[in-house]
Amino acid sequence: MNNMIWLMRAARWVRNPPSAGRVKLVVAIVVVVILLGTADWMGWVPEWAQMDRAPRRIPGS
């Protein structure tokens, strides 16, 4: 059932493809996310820019 929904969506994209500006925007967002993830993985993000880890469970429950 879910495959049919994706097939319909793909058919709609073939008939009305996104504009070049939209494609560039999505590619730019993906590149920024990959760069931020890589910088964090390599340890290049300063301490002040990192979030403290949340506790695994709420105390007292």
CA distance 35 to 41: 10
What pLDDT was estimated at residue 2?
77
Per-residue DSSP letters for 2-58? HHHHHHHHHHHHHHSPPPHHHHHHHHHHHHHHHHHHHHHHHT-S-GGGSPPPPPSS-
Amino acid symbol at 43 = G
pTM, 2 dp? 0.64
Three-state DSSP class for 60?
Answer: coil
What pLDDT was estimated at residue 49?
82
What is the residue-level pLDDT of the chain in tens, covering all 61 positions?
578 999 999 999 999 999 999 999 999 999 999 999 999 899 898 888 887 776 677 666 5
CA distance 61 to 11: 50
What pLDDT was estimated at residue 42?
93
